[in-house]
Amino acid sequence: MTDDANSPLPDMGLTGPLPARMRPRELSEFVGQAHLLGPGGPLRAMINAGASPSMLLWGPPGTGKTTLALLTAEKLGATFVSMSAINANVADVRAAIAEAQERRIKGGKTVLFLDEIHRFDKRQQDTLLGAVESGVITLIGATTETPYSSINDALLSRMRLFRLSPLSDEDLSALVGRALTENRGLAGRFSLPPDALARLLELGGGDARRTLDILETAAIIASTPSADAFDAQDTIEVGAKTKGKKRASIPAISREAIESAAQRARTDYDATGTLSAFIKSIRGNDPDGALYWLATMLVCGEDPRVIVRRMLISSGEDIGAADPRGITVAAAAAQAMEQVGMPEIQYILATAVTILATLPKSPRAGQAYFAARGEIEKSGTKPVPGHLRTNGGGRYIHPHGADQSGPRAFHVNQPYLPEGLAGRRFYEPSDAGLEAQISARLARLREGAK
């Protein structure tokens, strides 16, 4: 195919969208992540040494996770196998591991890149453990979610964790400049005035893929003569006369073209940030905010199982003993997930989220647990009191045999904490919801003990 001077974008024998064409071919072309890839950076040292362990790349979209996995496989001289946890299953993983085992017998290496690894549940993640432990595969997982809650502890302990940051404006400027001038990019056919560049960086939001997507769409807009994005006065003359040719002028990609392209670009979904906003809206008793972020996640293709998992956590962490219905509602939504898919599950999730956001909140039960745990971590475990042991004998008084009526029904005043912790209060209920009643009952029982 020839390079038509009137075509909107150059055809240099390369296919695919601009972000794919501009993917770094070697580590020296990689932009950003200086804390990992700069001089003395741990990831650079490992990749250059060609001896990379399994790793987890954690960071927002468009920060280079897939590229780093590709470069690592190349340095290792390994076969690169890529799959996404969105559509892969246990059978796919096992098949890839079996092929890697055969390759290993013949002296070959395998890098298994698992994108969106957080979408695998703990059981699915377990299928990777043996192959990672034995070195059959070098696993490189990519996630946009906090790995400490979404990745199996056993798997996480076998991987090096590297956190990637959003690209800076300086990083993106370098990337855009390369895309404008290199033959595999826009090959010098467009200029980008400073105000348009500033707007592009702003809309790119630290995401290289999104930035280049917008740039490519804006270039198409700018190349259309009938478009409002530029007119004749926006063209800029470049270069001197060449042999047999007149001075050339090229279209300038305007700020308006950038903004128009951004509207056509895919929805920019910040999974980690949106989930955080969702949970904080539930915790803050704001059903409108919670429903908005729920809708954002579902519109952007978030796995409803991820949402339900966060709802279950919130029911214990935020609602707690203030209203036990929170756990019941969240658990019911999780069970419904097994029977109802999209789009009908939206009604169930909306109902559950509305209830969770409007129930009274109290973190006291969870705080009490971690206070007790903190005591154990500080002072160690203590012996079980004799009367509470299995063979405690007659010293233990069974509450079922106590008075069965009155404010202290079925209650016996006897110690339940180890020696040295008598009278210690880990749980102090709030005045919210059911905890107000719990507080009053405990006060009555404790008053009777005096």
Q: Are 184 and 12 in contact (CB under 8 A)?
A: yes
DSSP-derived 3-state class of residue 110: strand
For the stretch 413-421, contacts whose Cβ atoms lie closer than 8 Å and that sit 24 or more positions apart, written own/partner, are: 413/448, 413/449, 414/387, 415/385, 416/385, 416/388, 418/382, 418/383, 418/384, 418/385, 419/382, 419/383, 419/385, 420/382, 421/375, 421/382
Given this model, what pLDDT does residue 11 score? Answer: 39
CATH of domain 364-383+403-448: 1.10.3710
Q: What is the pLDDT along the chain (450 residues), one digit of tens a residue?
A: 333 333 334 333 355 788 888 888 888 888 888 888 888 888 888 887 777 789 999 988 888 899 999 988 888 889 999 998 888 888 899 999 999 999 999 999 999 999 989 888 888 898 999 999 898 999 999 988 878 777 888 898 899 999 998 888 999 999 999 999 998 889 899 999 999 999 999 888 888 988 998 999 899 888 876 544 344 334 433 333 334 444 457 889 999 999 888 876 555 567 778 888 999 999 998 889 899 899 888 877 777 888 898 999 999 999 988 888 999 999 999 998 878 777 788 899 999 999 999 999 988 888 888 888 888 888 888 887 777 777 765 576 666 656 666 666 666 676 667 887 877 778 878 788 877 888 777 777 777 555
pTM of the model: 0.55
Q: Are strands 138-143 and 160-163 parallel, antiparallel or unpaired?
A: unpaired
Cα 248 to Cα 180: distance, rounded to the nearest angstrom: 16
Q: Does domain 169-239+248-264 have CATH number 1.10.8.60?
A: yes
Mode of pairing for the β-strands spanning 236-238 and 248-250: antiparallel
- Residue entry with tokens 């006060």: 443
* pLDDT at 369 (0 to 100): 86
Block residue for tokens 């908005």: 292
pLDDT score, position 38: 84
**CATH 3.40.50.2300 assigned to 33-163:** no
One DSSP character per residue, 125-190 reads HHTTHHHHHHTS-EEEEEESS-HHHHS-HHHHTTSEEEE--PPPHHHHHHHHHHHHHSTTTTTT--
CATH of domain 271-358: 1.20.272.10
Domain regions of the chain by residue span: 33-163, 169-239+248-264, 271-358, 364-383+403-448
Establish how many alpha carbons lie within 13 A of residue 379's alpha carbon, considering only the half-sphere containing its beta carbon.
11
In SS3 terms, 36-102 reads as HHCCCCHHHHHHHHCCCCCEEEECCCCCCHHHHHHHHHHHHCCEEEEEECCCCCHHHHHHHHHHHHH
**Cis? peptide before 407, omega within 30° of 0:** no
Residue 294 has what DSSP assignment?
A: H
Give me 429's structure tokens.
Answer: 């209920």
Rg (CA), the chain: 30
The residues with which 55 forms a beta bridge, in sequence order, are 140, 160
Q: What local confidence, expressed as pLDDT, does residue 232 receive?
A: 38
Domains 271-358 and 364-383+403-448 alike in fold:
no
Helix axes 271-283, 287-299, angle to 10 degrees: 160
